[in-house]
Structure 1
Amino acid sequence: MDFVIKVMPKGEIELPDEIKAQLRPGDEYQVFLIENSIVLKKIQKELDIKEWFRRIEELGPDPNQPTLE
């Protein structure tokens, strides 16, 4: 999927909603300059147990959870 963004006079960029939806507070990215391209690569952090449970809780109940019925 390709997106076009515009650089504002002060250097800010407006990201499309599809990109913003992938970003989470605290995420970190490496930035690479390759010829005439700028590449962002997410830094994968190891999850601690607290963060793992937080993410599971964020997902909510599984509608396909098997039951004993």
Structure 2
Amino acid sequence: MEKTITITLTPEGNLELPPEIREQFSNGEQYSVVTTEDTITFKKVPKLTWDDLRERRAELGEDPDPLTTEEICEIVREVRREKKK
């Protein structure tokens, strides 16, 4: 169902949404914003499933230059040294 409402841009640059619209948003959800000359559209970004992630990983293929175990260990040591400072 399509519904048209009017919202206000505050002096701080925030959009003031009426409660009936605000309750449709959830903390942590992501939205893509599509703009044209006179239109702004919010679309909920669907959450990735494990299957989606596996499919994306398969599309990428094997890493042509994978890190060695020693390189990974060195990175971990560097991070730990930095955290101690």
Short-chain TM bin: 0.5 to 0.7
Aligned to 1:36: 38
For the pair 1:22 / 2:24, whether they are aligned, the reply is yes
Structure with higher helix content = 2
TM-score, with length taken from structure 2: 0.50
In the alignment, structure 2 segments of 5+ residues that lack a partner are 51-85
Q: Compute the RMSD of aligned alpha carbons.
A: 1.5
Unaligned residue ranges in structure 1 (runs of 5+): 49-69
Q: Give the aligned partner of residue 10 of structure 2.
A: 8
TM-score by length of 1: 0.60
State the shift of 1:47 in Å.
5.3
Which structure has the greater CA radius of gyration? 2
Change (3 A) 1:47 1:18: farther
| Number of aligned positions between the proteins | 48
Higher relative contact order (CA 8 A, sep 6+): 1
